[in-house]
Amino acid sequence: MVSKGDLAAVLASLLPAPGSGGLVGADALRCARALGVDGVAVSVTVGSGLNELLWSTPGVSTQLEDLQFTLGEGPGPEVAASGTAVSVPDLMREPVDRWPVLLPEGLALGIRAVFCLPLLAGSACLGTMTLQRARPGPLEEIPLADAWIVTHALTAALVQDAGQWGAFAAAEDGSDFYRAAVHQATGMISVQAGVSLAEALIRLRAHAFRHGRPLNEVAEDVVARRVHFRHDDGDGRAPLAGGGTEGP
């Protein structure tokens, strides 16, 4: 168990420097160690079913966050939609029908326990903090309480730094974001296929999953116009450039 001094250092590192436009000095690995988990990832909501990875420990946590974003299922999407924390002490004991695709993928990454907390500003969920661990078992009372403290600090930092949060909330193309291509591709597909942004993201995710490719990679193809989602041709499928087809 880490000392309260260690936790205080983590919290101090989450404070934005004046005029910085972002969270400065935030060390995700140090945060994970302070909370007694193997990894942590924080994503913020940017609208239309999209979220942006703000920071994370490298490796498994980043992979889990990308996997949830590609599939549109998992603790992160659940928490973002409900504003309620999700705790899964053992992925192997979780009903398969809860996250039918994510569960086996998460286990393949070596994850046995996952805990996801909302970043709440009043009743609004601004994002999520997901903790993962290779060892099964619940998050103990003190680390859980500390995790909630971290979420409050993260939320306060986002809200107080108006420039940073304003960029997330108002962004249209997300050109400076980790998932910049996904934000851009979603808008392009919406226009190409004549569908809403939410439907465009569903189609992009479906294509990435069907072809076993990372979502960012497929999005880059859309932005580069190597893949094109056209208006439905009458049978519920949208032709793609290069002779492929994409279902709704």
173 token code pair: 């193309």
Q: What is the pLDDT of residue 230?
A: 76
* pLDDT tens, position by position, 209-241: 888 887 888 888 988 888 888 765 333 344 454
> Does the model's pTM come out above 0.75?
no
Report the percent of the chain where pLDDT is more than 70: 75
Residues 6 or more apart whose CB falls under 8 angstroms from that of 176 comprise 167
Strand ranges in 101-164 using DSSP code E only, listed in sequence order: 113-121, 124-133
Which option is the CATH number for 4-169: 3.30.450.40, 1.10.3720.10, 1.10.260.40, 3.60.10.10? 3.30.450.40
Alpha-carbon distance 110 to 10, whole Å?
26
Residues 6 or more apart whose CB falls under 8 angstroms from that of 24 comprise 13, 15, 16, 17
Alpha-carbon distance 101 to 37, whole Å?
24
Would you say the C-alpha torsion 92, 113, 109, 117 has a positive or negative sign? positive
Alpha-carbon distance 39 to 111, whole Å?
10
Name residue 209's amino acid: F
3-class secondary-structure state, position 63: helix
* pLDDT tens, position by position, 38-84: 999 998 887 656 678 888 899 999 999 988 988 889 999 999 989 99
Range with the lowest mean pLDDT among 81-90, 125-134, 182-191?
182-191
Alpha-carbon distance 49 to 147, whole Å?
25
3-class secondary-structure state, position 140: coil
3-class secondary-structure state, position 132: strand
Q: In the chain, list all ranges with CATH 3.30.450.40.
A: 4-169
